[in-house]
Amino acid sequence: MNWNMILYIVLNTAFVFLFAPLLISLIKKVKALCQGRHGTPLLQTYFQLFKLFKKEIIYSDNSSFIQRISPYLNIAFLLVASIFVPIVFIPAQESGFGNIILFLYLMVCARFFMALSGLDAGSTFGGMGSSREMTIASIIEPTTLMACAAIAFILKTTDIPQMFGTVLNGSILQYLPLLLVACSLFIILIVETARVPVDNPETHLELTMVHEAMILEQSGPKLALMELSYGIKQLILMALLINIIFPWGLATDATVSGILISVASFIVKAVILAVAIGVFESFFAKIRFFRLPDFFIIAFFLSFATILFELLS
């Protein structure tokens, strides 16, 4: 492991860690504005996390080591996954970081332990949340892989930094089918971050809840870690979508100016996407749980169509 890589890991992780909470509150703000409310301040998520870190931890007397370790594992898996998605600059090639399938499965790991912790306290809410989360995850997984396969097919690589590099060096006009995959990735992003047509991140006690139900028993700093990992997951999926279709601004080597431009351009793009997500959420109502496969099929079809398009051209 060389210095370039270590610098990249430190900067990228730090950026993801610090920037992730802002996007959570930004999307909330956009939704509030759409509904005609003022909404909370943009820094609200930071305040909340800070407050949670100062609180005590309460464990259920039914719970085991699973509930205790799952927040750590969650954030660890997602932070390692974030290394796979270059935001500050594209690092020199290094075996081990970048494979898109390993990236997907790191996120599966985080979900696996979160679902287990939902079952740990023996509460009905947690069990319901884990059951639904794992069901949704199972039926979206073929779509996710299909989208990744389509990208890998178009860009002829399975390495995420290389994908970004390829689009950066060419032009999106060369890779027009990517726009179709982008739609599919957008749906995957909505599903994975438990957003409105699939789940509702704002409810705690409705029967609609999936993600929030699983973390119901977490408290204090452990809940903060869970919230943070949610933010990180959202940010890296957004970064994947953004940098695959609009990577411009992303630096290819580690210079101060390059990194600053990358970060600044990424923030602009991320804010635009976050606004889009907020608006998208406001236009939809929650879909009935057993109707979800129909929604996922759209994304599946888009990815499959991309592959067909690329095959026949």
Partner 1 sequence: MEILFLGGCALLLLACALPLVSLLFKLGKASHRIALFITLAGISCITTTALICFFTGADYQQLIYALTPELTFSIHLDKLAAFFVALIGFVAFCAVIYSFNYIEHGAIEKRKHVLTALLPLFILSMIMVVAADNMFALLFFWEIMSISSFFLVMYDREKAETQKAGIFYFVMTQLSTFFLFIAFLLVYRYTGTFDIEATDALPQAVKSFAFIALFIGFGTKAGLIPFHKWLPYAHSASPSNISALMSGVMLKIAIYGLCRFTFDVLQPELWWGFVLLVFGTVSAVLGVIYALKEHDLKKLLAYHSIENIGIIVVGLGLYVIFNHYGLQTPANLSLVGALFHTLNHAIFKSLLFMTAGSVVQATGTRNIEEMGGLVKKMPVTAVLFLIGSCAISALPPLNGFASEIMIFLSYLGAFELDNPVIEIVMVIGLAAFALMSALAATCFVKAFGIVFLAKPRSKEAGKAMEAPPGMLVGPAILALTCIVLGVFSFQIIKAVGYELPVPDMLPVSILLLLITAIFVGLLKLFRVPVRIGETWGCGIQKQTPAMEYTATGFSEPIVTIFKLIYRTKKTNEKEYFDPAKSITKHTKAKIATFQFFEERVYMPLANLFMKSAAFISEKHNKDLETFILYAFITVVLLLVAAGLWL
Residues 286-305 that bind partner 1 (CB under 8 A): 289-290, 293, 300, 304
When binding is defined by CB under 8 A, the residue of 11, 223, 225, 299 that contacts partner 1 is: 225
Question: CA 215 from chain center: how many Å?
Answer: 17
For tokens 């890296």, the residue is 236
- How many chain residues bind partner 1 (CB under 8 A)? 83
Polymer length in residues for the chain: 313
Give the count of beta carbons closer than 10 Å to the beta carbon of residue 280: 17
The window from 163-171, 173-181, 217-225, 251-259 that contacts partner 1 (CB under 8 A) reads 217-225
Lookup result for tokens 């898996």: 77
Residues 34-93 touching partner 1, rule: CB under 8 A, are 53, 56-66, 71-73, 75-77, 79-80, 83
The reply on whether position 185 binds partner 1 by CB under 8 A is: no
User: In the complex, what is the shortest distance from the CB of residue 285 to partner 1, in angstroms, rounded to a whole number?
Assistant: 20
Identified binder of partner 1 from the candidate list 85, 87, 106, 254, rule CB under 8 A: 106
- Residues between 12 and 41 that touch partner 1 (CB under 8 A): none
Q: Is 205 helix (H, G, I), strand (E, B) or coil?
A: coil
Using the rule CB under 8 A, give the single segment among 30-38, 121-129, 262-270, 272-280 that binds partner 1.
Answer: 121-129
Query: Does 256 sit near partner 1 (CB under 8 A)?
Result: no
Interface with partner 1 includes 127 (CB under 8 A)?
A: yes
102 touches partner 1 by CB under 8 A: yes
CA separation for the pair 149, 307 (Å, rounded): 8
220 belongs to the binding site for partner 1 (CB under 8 A): yes
Shortest Å, Cβ 260 to partner 1: 25
Which residue of 4, 40, 44, 99 would you call a contact of partner 1, by CB under 8 A? 99
| Angle between the N-to-C axes of helices 178-192 and 220-245, in degrees from 0 to 180, rounded to the nearest 10 | 170
Task: Determine if 8 is a binding residue for partner 1 (CB under 8 A).
Answer: no
For partner 1, which residue of 25, 45, 70, 130 counts as binding (CB under 8 A)? 130
Classify the phi-psi angles of 249: left when phi > 0, otherwise alpha if psi is within -120 to 50, otherwise beta. Answer: left
Angle 220-245/160-169 helices, nearest 10 degrees? 40
181 near partner 1, rule: CB under 8 A = no
**Binding of partner 1 by 226 (CB under 8 A):** no
CA-based torsion, 303, 308, 309, 313: positive or negative: positive
Stretch of residues binding partner 1 (CB under 8 A), selected from 105-113, 162-170, 176-184, 237-245: 105-113
Locate 294 and state its tokens: 């129909």
| Site membership for partner 1, residue 144 (CB under 8 A) | yes
CB 238 within 8 A of CB 23: yes
Q: What is the rounded CA–CA span in Å between residue 134 and residue 116?
A: 10
Q: What is the DSSP letter of 283?
A: H
Q: What distance in Å separates the CA atoms of residue 18 and residue 27, rounded to the nearest whole number?
A: 16
Q: What distances in angstroms separate CA 198 from CA 146, 284, 313, one per listed residue?
A: 20, 10, 35
Contact call for residue 166 and partner 1 (CB under 8 A): no
Using the minimum distance from each CB to partner 1, give the nearer residue, 6 or 260.
6
* Nearer to partner 1 (CB atom), residue 130 or residue 262: 130
Residue type, 19: F
Applying CB under 8 A, among 10, 18, 92, 101 the residue interacting with partner 1 is 101
Closest C-alpha among 76, 197, 192, 72 to residue 133? 192
Considering the complex, what minimum distance in angstroms separates the CB of residue 37 from partner 1? 28
* Residue 199 binds partner 1 (CB under 8 A): no
